[in-house]
């Protein structure tokens, strides 16, 4: 189960340039770390190697693992963050719509990976 979150920040501090940073965050849940023998004072893992959602995204079933039945919080969380900075210089006669079109194209390219 991979989730993507895109955050776009714009800085128009000077009249002619615009800086855009795009951040793509990917979250992956790895092996289960739930101690199944904690109630008897032991330590035992179930061997589940990767979280697989039991249901569709947004439902309660999406938070439980189809392989081991544990909640997603028991699985080790791995977060990848990719940040891309882009600075465009806008000329006096260049329309703002062209700059926004270029930003939209570049944003779609980074989210398509």
- In DSSP notation, 32-93 reads E---TTGGGT--------S--BSS-TTSGGGGBBTTT--BGGGEEEEEEEEEEEEEEEPPTT
Q: How many residues does the chain have?
A: 113
Model confidence, pTM: 0.52
Q: What is the pLDDT of residue 41?
A: 93
Number of domains making up the chain: 1
Measured between alpha carbons, how far is 53 from 74 in angstroms, rounded to an integer?
Answer: 13
Supply the pLDDT for residue 8: 55
Q: Which domain holds residue 77?
A: 3-111
Residues of the chain with pLDDT under 70: 1-19, 86-96, 110-113
């Amino acid at each position: 189960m991979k989730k993507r979150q895109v955050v776009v920040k714009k800085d128009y501090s000077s009249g002619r340039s615009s800086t855009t940073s795009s951040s793509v965050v990917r979250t992956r849940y790895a092996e289960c770390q739930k101690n199944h023998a904690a109630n008897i004072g032991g330590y035992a893992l179930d061997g589940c190697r990767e979280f697989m959602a039991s249901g569709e995204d947004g439902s309660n079933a999406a938070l439980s693992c189809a392989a081991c039945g544990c909640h997603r919080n028991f699985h080790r969380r791995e977060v990848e963050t990719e940040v891309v900075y882009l600075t465009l210089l806008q000329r006096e006669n260049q329309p703002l719509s062209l700059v926004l079109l270029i930003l939209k194209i570049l944003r779609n390219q980074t989210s398509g990976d």
